[in-house]
Structure 1
Amino acid sequence: MAKYLAEHERKMQLTKEEFKNRLKRKLNDYYEEDIDTASTSELFAAISAIVRDGYAPQWRRTRI
C-alpha cells in the first residue's frame, strides 16, 4: 500500500501532505469515512479517483 501511494504521489507531483489531504477529502465525500476507519477497497477507490482527477486535464489535452 505504501509503495502504491508513493508511486502516485510522485507521478502527480504532490507533496505527501497534499496527497493525504486529497485522500481524506475523497474518502469523506464518497464514503463518509475517516482515513483510519476506511477499508482497503475504499482507500484504493479514493486513490483511483484522485489519480483520475489529477490526470484528466492531461488526457483531454492529448486527445484534442
Structure 2
Amino acid sequence: MTGDLCVSCEIAEDATKASVVYEDDDVLAFMDYQPVTPGHLLVVPRAHAVRLVEHGLERALCER
C-alpha cells in the first residue's frame, strides 16, 4: 500500500497495478495477487467498505 488507502481502494483509484478483468461504476474485479486456484479473482465495491451492507451493495451484487 502506498498510503492510508487499503489495497482494494488503491487498485480502484489506479494507484496500484492490478490485472483488472471487469469494472463498472459500482464494482471492480481483478486477479488475486496470491491466487489460491487458477482464475482466483476478487470483486470489490469501488467505495471503501468494511462490510458490503454498509453501502447496500450486498443485495445489488447478488441480483446481477
TM over 0.5: no
The structure whose RCO (Cα within 8 Å, separation 6+) is larger is 1
Please identify which structure carries the higher helix content: 1
For normalisation by structure 2, the TM-score amounts to 0.22
Please identify which structure carries the higher strand content: 2
